[in-house]
Amino acid sequence: MFLAHLLREAGVDAVVLEQRSRAYVEGRVRAGVLEDGTVQLMARLGLAERLGREGLVHRGVNLASENGLLRIDFAALTGRGITVYGQQEVMKDLFDAAEARGLEVVFEAAEVAPHAIDGDAPFVTWRKGGAEHRLDCDFVVGCDGSHGVSRAAIPPAALTVYERNYPFGWLGVLADVPPAGPELIYCNHARGFALASMRSATRSRYYVQCGLDESPDAWPEARFWDELTLRMGPAGAGVTRGAAVETTFAPLRSFVAEPMRFGRLLLAGDAAHIVPPTGAKGLNLAVADVVLLAEALTEHYAGRSGAGLDAYSSRALARVWKAERFSWQLTRLTHRFPGDDPIERKLQLAELDYLATSQAAQTAFAENYVGLPQT
């Protein structure tokens, strides 16, 4: 949807195919942290009116451990911050503006399939309302996630895949209670990781690390709240308990498929790469991808130059790998890995102590968290 708005701004026609209904997309709770660059892009596209009213601007983040509570001051170190505003809210804004601007979005498009992507005349087919539809186009952009049809349409021999599956996951609870604090709190505890996050001033999102073999059914609400507050240490005093609106379990994974282009098919977002949620990079990486892609497609149509499209994959991957590195680094810093010996715990605490005493280390952390340049 961001790409469609960017292309419309440049006078390039695009059609968006969405497998689900609009109500489903707007109702599913996903990412909630927007990098500064994503916020600026929404403002540039005229999509930030509600974001400006309802988004929660955070000028720092907190790391809790037995060393104490460390706050990284984004504003002082980088002059920027992040904004908490749910992905489903972003989608509502994108869809509302699409209607007003005449952008074509086909909801509930079933059996979507790209064809002839290695030639000069690609096309896409789908089914809706009992009929088959076809769209002839110049390019197909796969924004359909890790399990979508786009990347699967590329011959396996044409892709190099890098993957790491983590030996734990996040059990998450969404509850209509005030947040534990005004900013996110990442917790490193001997029993495992915890995160205190939020979606609004009255809705909180909490996570605890647990094993891949653990069922959410083994975590009644009382156990979850007890474990969360224990792992948060003194910061847990700010937790307000309440009934879960939603309980989720998410395994953690790092994944990159290179290159992000095959013929007339271009990949963006989760179709090409996955990061652990620790660094809050997934949504923001997808946005950064399409900023580059819109620039390349605009250049193609304005000057018939293919240079931007030829460079798209390498430019996008340069940022992707830095985000993969940061997400891995923060995951390693805050989680307990099976088989870790006592030295690993000491190394984590030493790294946290170094962060607490080094402005250079804090600046590097802050630069990565608020978002590296999109272009």
Query: Three-state SS for 307?
Result: helix
Residue 147 falls in the annotated catalytic set: no
pLDDT of residue 235: 95
Could you report the per-residue pLDDT of 245-273, keeping only the tens digit for each? 999 999 999 999 999 999 999 999 999 99
pLDDT per residue as tens digits for the range 57-96: 999 999 999 999 999 999 999 999 999 999 999 999 999 9
pLDDT(304) > 80: no
Q: For the chain, which residues make up each domain, given as ranges?
A: 2-57+81-163+253-334
pLDDT in tens, 174-203: 999 999 999 999 999 999 999 999 999 999
Instruction: Tell me if residue 155 is catalytic.
Output: no
Percent of residues, the chain, with pLDDT higher than 70 = 100
146 touches 232 (CB < 8 A):
no
| Residue 128 a catalytic site member | no
pLDDT of residue 283: 96
Q: Check pLDDT > 90 for residue 334.
A: yes
Q: What is the pLDDT of residue 216?
A: 85
pLDDT band at 288 (very low <50, low <70, confident <90, very high): very high
Residue 101 has pLDDT above 80, yes or no: yes
Question: 259 preceded by cis ω (within 30°)?
Answer: yes
**Residue 326: pLDDT over 90:** yes
pLDDT tens digits, 350-363: 999 999 999 999 99
204-211/82-84 β-pairing: unpaired
Which residue in the list 85, 166, 206, 369 is annotated as catalytic? 369
pLDDT at 323 over 80: yes
pLDDT tens for each residue of 195-239? 999 999 999 999 999 999 988 889 999 999 999 999 999 999 999
Q: Which of 85, 166, 186, 207 is catalytic?
A: 186
Q: Is 58 a catalytic residue?
A: yes
The token duo for 41 is: 């892009």
pLDDT at position 375 is 74
5, 58, 273, 335: the catalytic one is 58
Instruction: Judge residue 345's burial from the number of C-beta atoms within 10 Å of its C-beta, 0-12 exposed, 13-18 middle, 19 or more buried.
Output: middle
Q: Is the pLDDT of residue 29 over 80?
A: no
Q: What percent of the chain clears pLDDT 90, i.e. is strictly above it?
A: 95
**How many angstroms separate the Cα of 177 from the Cα of each of 180, 186, 236?**
9, 19, 14
pLDDT digits (tens, 9 = 90+) for 84-95: 999 999 999 999
Residue 257 belongs to what H/E stretch?
strand 244-258
Q: Are 295 and 375 in contact (CB under 8 A)?
A: yes
Q: Give the active site residue among 114, 122, 276, 277.
A: 277
**The one catalytic residue among 189, 273, 281, 335:** 281
Q: What is the structure's pLDDT at 175? A: 96
Check residue 45 and give its pLDDT. 97
DSSP three-state, residue 353: helix
Class for the domain spanning 2-57+81-163+253-334: alpha beta
Q: Is the dihedral of CA 55, 57, 61, 64 positive or negative?
A: negative
- Whether the pLDDT of residue 154 is over 90: the answer is yes
Interval 161-173: pLDDT, tens: 999 999 999 999 9
Q: Is 281 a catalytic residue?
A: yes
Taking the alpha carbons at both ends of the chain, their separation in whole angstroms is: 19
